[in-house]
């Protein structure tokens, strides 16, 4: 087991309550991780692994079979946890009294009951998602202005199937009258904004205010100001036509899709 402990640290350790793998939480956990090649399933030596895993195909996880003649006693649980050093441990509710709360904060303990749903926070910060073919053909990547990166907007439904995440298309009636709202983000560079204003025939001057606020004053054709904050930008003018030109200039500088 020491060799396996070095290799198989993520993402989950499950002790199946029944050799058939048809009862208990192991069913849900296997559906979640059967497609992960880093997962390891430990079965009793005499169990037909092919038959037991039949409902979960395709199966990518590794299977190890060994003898469990002695079973798992309560006295062995804490030494096993100390050996495996998990991030999260799930215990049946009836073991809450028999097993005291851990002294160490290196792992979290949750107790589950029959016929109750237990929500567990994922420790993974990112994960791979497969894209449906029809959804992939809808992608229209746009190159970012100041980065070597292309990004596209996509709308889909996230599906989890046999441990694999899939983004599938959403079947909705097409409405040609509905215009998709654009998304803009990133810091607003005052120098680039001044260039964009000049391209539209507007003269502006840059002023740096206190509190990390940049101010651009426009004198012609009418008075206006653009306040650039760290998280938002404010356009001030009484001329609606000028406000539209300023808005277009700001949009042209920002990254967006």
Are residues 97 and 63 both part of a single domain?
A: yes
Torsion of CA 215, 218, 224, 227, to 10 degrees: -10
Residues 188 and 155 in one domain: no
Question: Does residue 179 fall inside a structural domain?
Answer: no
Give a yes or no: residue 174 inside a domain: no
My answer on whether 21 and 103 are in the same domain is yes
Place of tokens 């391209």: 199
Gap between the Cα atoms of 189 and 214, Å rounded:
10
Q: Are residues 16 and 105 in the same domain?
A: yes
Could you report the per-residue pLDDT of 130-150, keeping only the tens digit for each? 888 888 888 888 787 666 778
- 71 and 143 housed in the same domain: no
Instruction: Please provide the average confidence, as pLDDT, over all residues in the chain.
Output: 78
Q: 13 is in which domain, residue-wise?
A: 2-112
Q: Are residues 154 and 92 in the same domain?
A: no
95-99-101-105 Cα dihedral, nearest 10 degrees: -100
DSSP class of residue 177 equals T
pLDDT at residue number 104: 66
- The answer on 95 and 20 residing in a single domain is yes
Which distant-in-sequence residues (6+ apart) come within 8 Å of 5 by Cβ?
A: 83, 84
Expressed in angstroms, the distance from the first to the final Cα of the chain is 51
- Cα angle 229, 232, 235 (rounded to 5 degrees) comes to 90
Domain count, the chain: 3
Can you give the pLDDT at residue 22? 81
Same domain, 19 and 97: yes
Residue 122 covered by a domain = no
136 with 234, same domain?
Answer: no
Same domain, 194 and 162: no
Provide the whole-model pTM: 0.40
Per-residue pLDDT, 173: 62
Token pair in block for residue 184: 């803009």
Cα–Cα distance measured from residue 137 to residue 76, given in angstroms and rounded to the nearest whole number = 54
Q: Which residue positions in the chain have pLDDT lower than 70?
A: 1-18, 68-71, 102-104, 122-124, 145-147, 172-181, 209-211, 256-257
**Is 121 contained in some domain?**
no
Task: Report pLDDT for 204.
Answer: 81
Evaluate whether residue 188 is within a structural domain.
yes
Report yes or no on 234 lying in a domain.
Answer: yes
Q: Cis link prior to 61 (omega < 30° from 0)? A: no
Question: Residue 120: inside a domain, yes or no?
Answer: no
Same domain? 142 vs 226: no
**Six token digits for residue 251:** 């949009």
Is 164 inside any structural domain?
yes
Q: What pLDDT is recorded for position 8?
A: 46
Q: What is the spatial distance between Cα 203 and Cα 217, in angstroms, rounded to a whole number?
A: 8
């Amino acid at each position: 087991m020491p060799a396996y402990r070095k290799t198989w640290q993520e993402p989950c350790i499950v002790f199946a309550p029944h050799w058939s793998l048809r009862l208990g939480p192991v069913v849900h956990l296997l559906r979640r991780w059967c497609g992960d090649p880093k997962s390891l399933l430990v079965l009793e030596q005499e169990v037909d692994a092919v038959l037991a895993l039949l409902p979960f195909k395709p199966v990518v996880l590794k299977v190890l079979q060994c003898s469990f003649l002695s079973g798992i006693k309560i006295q062995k649980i804490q030494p096993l946890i100390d050996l495996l050093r998990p991030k999260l441990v799930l215990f049946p509710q009836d073991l809450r009294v028999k097993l005291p709360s851990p002294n160490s904060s290196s792992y979290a303990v949750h107790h589950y009951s029959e016929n109750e749903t237990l929500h567990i926070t994922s420790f993974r910060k990112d994960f791979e998602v497969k894209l449906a073919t029809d959804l992939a053909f809808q992608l229209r990547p746009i190159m970012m202005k100041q980065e070597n990166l292309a990004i596209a907007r996509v709308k889909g439904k996230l599906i989890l199937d046999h441990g694999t995440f899939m983004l599938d298309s959403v079947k909705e009636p097409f409405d040609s009258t509905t215009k998709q709202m654009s998304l803009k983000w990133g810091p607003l560079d005052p120098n680039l904004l001044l260039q964009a204003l000049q391209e539209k025939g507007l003269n502006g001057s840059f002023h740096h205010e206190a509190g990390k606020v940049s101010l651009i004053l426009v004198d012609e054709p009418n008075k206006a100001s653009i306040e650039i904050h760290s998280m938002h930008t404010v356009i001030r003018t009484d001329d609606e036509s000028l406000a539209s030109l300023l808005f277009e200039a700001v949009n042209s500088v920002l990254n967006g899709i």
